[in-house]
Amino acid sequence: MEYTAEKIRALKAEKDAVILAHYYAPDEAQAVADYVGDSFYLAKAATETRSQTIVFCGVHFMGESAKILNPSRRVLMPDLTADCAMAHMATEEQIKKLRAEVRDLAVVCYINSTARLKSLSDVCVTSSNAVKIARALPEKNILFIPDQNLGEYVAAQVPEKNFYFSGGYCPVHAHLTEESVLAAKAAHPAAEVLTHPECTEKVRAASDFIGSTAEIIARAEKSGAAEFIVCTEPGVLFELRRRCPGKKFYPAAPECLDMKRNTLAGIGNCLASGSGEVVLEEADIRAAERPLRRMLELAK
Ligand code: 13P
Ligand code: SF4
């Protein structure tokens, strides 16, 4: 069946549903969403909705987090196979080994992780609150999972703590190299370089601003510059162009193909038939809820 934005709006009302979309979701998904934002904003939005059904246009860990934070709601995803490769890049063994070896240790889990990894952790973070939360924790030692690039970015700003890493990375952001950013700067010398902290240290060092997707958008709005090289997934250009119509944006990173699985057809199908439901065991919800709630508390 062919779905238009109008048809999706009618289905949303009929099914008492709300649509959440990450900035990396396709333009067509962002255009019909009730909430569009970064990972932190969307996690909070999931706790606040009164609608019976949440359609989450993101990757699987995001749908899981929405279900964990609002278990009485039905959470649907346009494509349940949309997964974040990095979400699996830490192991139970790594966590258990370090917990046994290092005293005064907190396991800090980037929200880009499976529910299982969250349940083994002390607190979750997103890229917009990781520095604040790492500083606020009472422990001297931190095992940061799974993203080593974000972890190293946080560690540089929290020098009073010792950091350990599990070695994970985002394949989309890791694709960007110092050379590719320098070449983009040479082609657009007046442009500011806006970079997500999931990028490597060398890419971050070649940048003018580092922040989460929401922070990148806020920076572009406030900045006096007229051109920007965008070192994160190019889905953010939809909101950047909407909010800054007079400014130019040059995408530097490749697309996250999993995020692009959230098509209008997929949204329509899951709304119409109830397919793509995120199902978690009660015990798994309870175990992963604690670090997510602690994040919401510490990020206030
Ligand atoms: P933020 O939404 O925190 O900017 O993270 C980006 C990301 O990679 C989500 O998958
Ligand atoms: Fe995961 Fe990277 Fe895609 Fe974000 S952009 S969902 S971190 S693979």
What pLDDT digit, counting tens, does each position of 127-158 carry? 999 999 999 999 999 999 999 999 999 999 99
Residues 38 and 16 occupy one common structural domain: yes
Residues 290 and 150 occupy one common structural domain: yes
How many Å lie between the centroid of ligand 2 and the Cα of residue 84? 5
> Ligand 2: which atom is nearest the Cα of residue 198?
7
> What's the rounded Cα separation, in Å, for the pair 230 and 88?
26
What is the domain extent for residue 290? Answer: 86-171+286-298
The reported pLDDT for the residue numbered 17 is: 98
Q: What percent of the chain has pLDDT over 70?
A: 100
How many Å lie between the centroid of ligand 2 and the Cα of residue 81? 14
Ligand 2 pocket residues where CB is under 6 Å:
24, 59, 84-86, 112, 170-172, 198, 233, 256, 258-259
> What's the rounded Cα separation, in Å, for the pair 16 and 53?
6
In DSSP terms, 54 is beta-bridged to 18, 75
Contacts 24+ apart (CB under 8 A), 48-52: 49/18, 49/73, 51/16, 51/17, 51/18, 52/15, 52/16, 52/17
Residue 117 dihedral angles phi and psi, to the nearest 5°: -65, -40
How many Å lie between the centroid of ligand 1 and the Cα of residue 55? 18
The reported pLDDT for the residue numbered 139 is: 98
Residues 91 and 167 occupy one common structural domain: yes
Residues 95 and 166 occupy one common structural domain: yes
How many Å lie between the centroid of ligand 1 and the Cα of residue 1? 31
**What is the per-residue pLDDT across 28-56, written as a single tens digit (0 to 9) for each?**
999 999 999 999 999 999 999 999 999 99
Pocket test for ligand 1, best of 198, 210, 257 (most atoms within 8 A of CB): 198
Q: What's the CATH number where 294 sits?
A: 3.40.50.10800
Residues 164 and 103 occupy one common structural domain: yes
Over 90: is that where the pLDDT of 1 sits? no
Q: What's the distance, CA 121 to chain centroid?
A: 18
Sign of torsion over alpha carbons 143, 133, 281, 80? negative
> What's the rounded Cα separation, in Å, for the pair 57 and 19?
7
Residues 131 and 161 occupy one common structural domain: yes
The reported pLDDT for the residue numbered 175 is: 97
The ligand minimizing its distance to the Cα of 21 is 1
| Count of CB atoms situated within 10 Å of the CB of 148 | 23
Residues 165 and 197 occupy one common structural domain: no
Over 90: is that where the pLDDT of 264 sits? yes
Pocket test for ligand 1, best of 62, 86, 88, 213 (most atoms within 8 A of CB): 213
How many Å lie between the centroid of ligand 1 and the Cα of residue 38? 6
Q: Please enumerate in sequence order all residues whose Cβ is within 8 A of that of 122, keeping only pairs 6 or more positions apart, or say none.
A: 106, 107, 108, 109, 137, 139, 291, 294
> Ligand 2: which atom is nearest the Cα of residue 170?
2
Residues 79 and 95 occupy one common structural domain: no
Spatial CA neighbour of 288 closest among 74, 136, 28, 61: 61
Residues 294 and 165 occupy one common structural domain: yes
Number of independent structural domains in the chain? 3
Residues 146 and 11 occupy one common structural domain: no
Residues 92 and 147 occupy one common structural domain: yes
Q: What is the mean pLDDT of residues 177-183?
A: 98
Ligand 1 pocket residues where CB is under 6 Å:
38-39, 84, 112, 126-128, 170, 198, 212-213
Residues 246 and 208 occupy one common structural domain: yes
